[in-house]
Amino acid sequence: MRIRKKPWADEEFNTNKRWISAPEKNKGNWKSLFGNFNPIHIEIGCGKGRFITNMSNINKNVNYIAVERQKMVLASALKKSRENETEDNLKFIMADVKNLSDFFNKGEIDRIYINFCDPWPNKNKWAKRRLTHKNFLNLYAGLFDDKGEIFLKTDNRILFEFSLNEFEAHPLYKMRNICLDLHNSSFEQSNVMTEYEVKFTQKKMPIFRLEAIYNKEGVFYN
C-alpha cells in the first residue's frame, strides 16, 4: 500500500540531525559517527519510531540505529525522535534489510531487534521473505563478530513457530527467554512497546517473544 506523502516530510529529512542520508559512507565507521565505543543495536523496520526512541532514552550507554525502508513512515519516526528530545545515541537510515551488509562491517552490530515484521502468511510461497528465514539468519550472522543477539516480538503465532524452528535448526544460534504471552510474563515489566504492540495488547492479543544468541563457534554454555 502506497503511503501518502506528508507535507512536512522534506523539512524533517533536511533538518533532523539523526537522519543519515548516505549510510553506506559510514560502513566501518559507525562508532566514530557516534563518538564512542558503546555497543550498537539496530531495529529492523522501526515503523513510527515509538520503540527505538524510547529505548534510546532509557539506555544512554547504547547506540541505536533505526532501519526503515518506507520514506514516509521513516519521516514520522524522525519527527517523533525530535519531539521527544532523543539523545544523540540514535540514528535513522532508509534501507532494505537484505542490503544491511552494504552499510555495516562485520562486528559493528551487537544486537538486532525484529518487532512485528510482516508474517508473510503463505509459507510455501513466501517463507523466504520472513525476516527469520535461515537466509536472513545467515545475513545477520555476517554482521556480528564473535557473538550477537536477536530479539524478536510478534503477534503472529505462525511466524513465531516458524522462527522457533529456524533458530533451532541453525547451528550458530541458541534461543533463550521464550515467551508465549509476553505481557503475562516476568519480562513484561521491562518491556518497551511498539505502536503495533500497544494496539494488540489493548485487544488482549498475546505477544510472542524470544531471544536468539549467536556464537560463531556454535558453542554455548548454560
| Catalytic residue set | 118
One-letter identity of residue 88: D
Cell readout for 139 is 545475513
3-state secondary structure at position 48? coil
User: What is the C-alpha to C-alpha distance for residues 47 and 15, in angstroms, rounded to an integer?
Assistant: 20
Q: How many H helices and E strands in the chain?
A: 8, 7
**Of the candidates 128, 14, 197, which has an alpha carbon nearest to the alpha carbon of residue 188?**
197
Is residue 157 a contact partner of residue 208, using CB atoms and an 8 Å limit? yes
Is residue 47 a contact partner of residue 195, using CB atoms and an 8 Å limit? yes
Cell readout for 197 is 504492540
Phi and psi angles of residue 159, each rounded to the nearest 5 degrees, phi first: -65, -40
Cα-based distances in Å from 101 to 42, 59, 67: 13, 25, 13
Is residue 70 a contact partner of residue 91, using CB atoms and an 8 Å limit? no
